[in-house]
């Protein structure tokens, strides 16, 4: 695992950028954090299906949503990448983050 810590404004910039290398999977993990929330955005090469059902299509990409424990997961896949947003925000806000990440 490679870890790069970069200090940013916690309201609008990532607090840390982590590149993880798991067996057969490498991904980048962006962590956005303020005094109340922490939001993770995971980016990896497209390789598997997304969790949850398709809830809408944005610019030709299916936007998926799922709840696991206390976390909402929203994600999409481009032709080359998978992007997942994981947070404890309400589903609508998690989906909006994924929608605007495109």
pLDDT digits (tens, 9 = 90+) for 8-41: 344 455 555 566 655 567 788 888 877 778 888 8
Q: Which of 39, 50, 38 is nearest to 81 (CA)?
A: 50
pLDDT for 101 beyond 80? no
Q: What was the pLDDT predicted at 6?
A: 31
Sketch the domain layout of the chain as residue ranges.
Answer: 2-101
- Separation between Cα atoms, residue 98 and residue 61, nearest integer Å: 11
Beta 53-58 vs 38-45: how paired, if at all?
unpaired
Model pTM? 0.76
Given the candidates 3.30.1380, 3.40.50, 3.30.70, 3.30.200, the CATH classification of the domain at 2-101 is: 3.30.200
Q: Which tokens in the block code for residue 102?
A: 């495109």
């Amino acid at each position: 695992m490679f870890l790069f810590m970069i200090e940013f404004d916690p309201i609008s910039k990532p607090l840390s950028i982590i590149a993880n290398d798991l067996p057969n999977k490498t991904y980048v993990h962006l962590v956005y954090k303020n005094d109340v929330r922490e939001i993770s955005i995971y980016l990896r090469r497209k390789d598997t299906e997304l969790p949850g059902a398709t809830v809408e299509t944005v610019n030709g990409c299916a936007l998926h949503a799922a709840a696991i424990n206390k976390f909402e997961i929203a994600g999409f896949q481009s032709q080359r990448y998978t992007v997942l947003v994981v947070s404890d925000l309400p589903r609508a806000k998690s989906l909006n983050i994924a929608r605007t990440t495109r």
